[in-house]
Structure 1
C-alpha cells in the first residue's frame, strides 16, 4: 500500500490493518532492489507520509534478489532485519516481516541471534514445489515462528482461471468433496502447503473474494496433504540429474 491508497481510502484507513513492503526503489531501468539500511529506513518513513498513518506491518520484500550477489549475505540480511526492527521500535510501523518469493536463497543466511520477523509471507498452494516448501519450513524453524506468524500468497500461481485448474480436481484434498468448488478446494489446500495462518488474495473481484471466504468452512484431509508432499519429494528425486563423479 502507498500514496494512491492513502489518497483514495482517506479516512477509512484507520478502520483497517495496513501492511506494505519496502525493498524496491526507482532505478535507471525502472526499479531496482536494495537492502541498503538507509534506503529501507527512508522507505518506511515515506510509507508513513503516503498513508498518513503508521502501517501496522512492513515487509522486507523479496530480499533474495539482493542477497544472490552479496558476498556477505548473512550480514546484509541481518542489517536489513535490524533496520526494520529499529523502525518498529521508533514507532514508524507496528511490526515488521519478510516476504519472500524464493525462500530457498534465505535458509542458510538466518542469524538466530538477530531480530526475528513477526510474519513470514511465502508462496502457498498446489503449484509450489517441494524445494520452496522445505525452505519455508527451514525458515520457520530458524526464526522459531508460530503457525499464526506464517502467511501465504499467490495460492493460484497467478490466476484462478488458469487452464491447470480445469485439468486437476483439488477436491481430493477435502474431507467432503461435494460441497466446495475446485477453486475453493485449491484455496483451502493452500493453507496447508505450507501451513499458513492467512493467504493473501486480490480484492478486485468481490464475488471471487466471497467464494474464497466461504471456502474456509471446509476441512482439509491432512493425510492427503502429507501424501502429496511425499509424492512431490519423490518426483523431485527422480527428476534430479545424477551428480557428476
Structure 2
C-alpha cells in the first residue's frame, strides 16, 4: 500500500478555498469534523462535494460545537446540564450524524469517533461508551446513512487506552464478521516517532491496523505547521537530500508502514504543489527511517 495525500480541514481558515486548491491538485479524500472552522467546516464542503461526487469525505462525532449547543439542548440529546464540550451519548451521536449529513449534502464515507479518550478514566469505561457508539454507527452503516466508521484519536492508541486489535474485536462483537469498522486516525510525524518505531519493529497501532486490514489516516504530519520552521538542512538531507526540508518532513509520514492517507491542511495551490512533490518521491526505506529515529529519538 502506498500512502496518499488527503485534505484535512482542522486548521483551514477558509474551507471552500482550501478544499478547492486540494481538489484541483488531484486530492480525492477530504477529512473534516462538526467542530472544525468554528463549526462551519462541514457546510463549507457542501458545494465542492456536490461538484465532485467522486471525492470521498470523512467526518466525526463527539465534540459539541458551541454553535450547535442550543439546538442539541432543544432536541434533548445532551445529558445533564448540556454544558459539556465532548459527548458520546448515543442520542447525541445519532443527532450529530443527521446534522453532518445535512450539512455535507451527502452521506459521509467514513465517520470517526472523535477522541473517545476524552472523559474516559479507564480503558474499561472507554469501551463501555464505545460499545454504544459502535452500535449506533453500525445501524447507520446498515441503513446507508454512512459508509463506515472508525476512531480518530490524539493519544488513545499510544497511551494504552485503546488498541486497534481491541477496537476491531469490539466492532466484530457489535456488528459481526461483516462489521463496518474501517479506519483509525492518529498523529504520525517527526515529533510522533514512537508509533513509527513500533511499526518498524512489528508492533503498535500501525502494525495492528495493517494486519487487520484497517486503513490508517495519519494526522498532523507537519505537527500543526511547527515542523515547517523547525526543520534543519541537516535533518532534511538525512531524510532525502533531493527535496526541501518541509517535503522531507512530509515524506516521513508518507513512508510510515501501514499508513493509507496522510491528512494535510494546505491552503493554496503552491502549498499543494509542494506537498505533491513529496508524495511523488520514492518512499523511505525502513533502514532510512531507522536512521532518522536514531538521530531524533522517540
Identify the structure with bigger relative contact order (alpha carbons < 8 Å, sequence gap 6+): 2
- 1:76 deviates by 1.4
Tell me how far apart the structure 2 counterparts of residues 142 and 77 of structure 1 sit (CA, whole Å). Answer: 19
Provide the secondary structure at the position in 2 that maps to 1:113: helix
Distance 1:192 1:81, change over 3 A: farther
Further displaced range: 156-165 or 184-193: 156-165
The 5 A counterparts of 1:33-182 are 33-68=86-121, 72-102=125-155, 103=157, 104-107=159-162, 110-115=166-171, 117-130=181-194, 134=198, 137-140=203-206, 144-146=211-213, 149-159=215-225, 162-166=228-232, 169-174=235-240, 177=241, 179-182=242-245
Q: 1:201 aligns with which of 236, 251, 264?
A: 264
Provide the secondary structure at the position in 2 that maps to 1:158: helix
Provide the secondary structure at the position in 1 that maps to 2:277: helix
Query: Which segments of 5 or more consecutive residues in structure 1 lack a partner in the other structure?
Result: 237-245
- 1:106 deviates by 2.9
Provide the secondary structure at the position in 1 that maps to 2:223: coil
- 1:13 deviates by 4.8
- 1:211 deviates by 1.0
Tell me how far apart the structure 1 counterparts of residues 239 and 198 of structure 2 sit (CA, whole Å). Answer: 20
Would you say the 8 A contact 2:235–2:245 is kept in 1? yes
Would you say the 8 A contact 1:125–1:192 is kept in 2? no
- The TM-score with structure 2 as length reference comes to 0.66
- The TM-score with structure 1 as length reference comes to 0.78
Distance 1:142 1:86, change over 3 A: farther
In structure 1, what is the equivalent of residue 55 of structure 2? 16
Distance 1:132 1:217, change over 3 A: closer
Distance 1:222 1:55, change over 3 A: same
Provide the secondary structure at the position in 2 that maps to 1:80: helix
What are the superposed Cα offsets for residues 167-214 of structure 1, whole Å, 9 maximum, x if unpaired?
Answer: 65233123xx2x211111111111234641210101312111111112
Aligned residues: 229
Distance 1:162 1:231, change over 3 A: closer
Tell me how far apart the structure 2 counterparts of residues 95 and 138 of structure 1 sit (CA, whole Å). Answer: 23
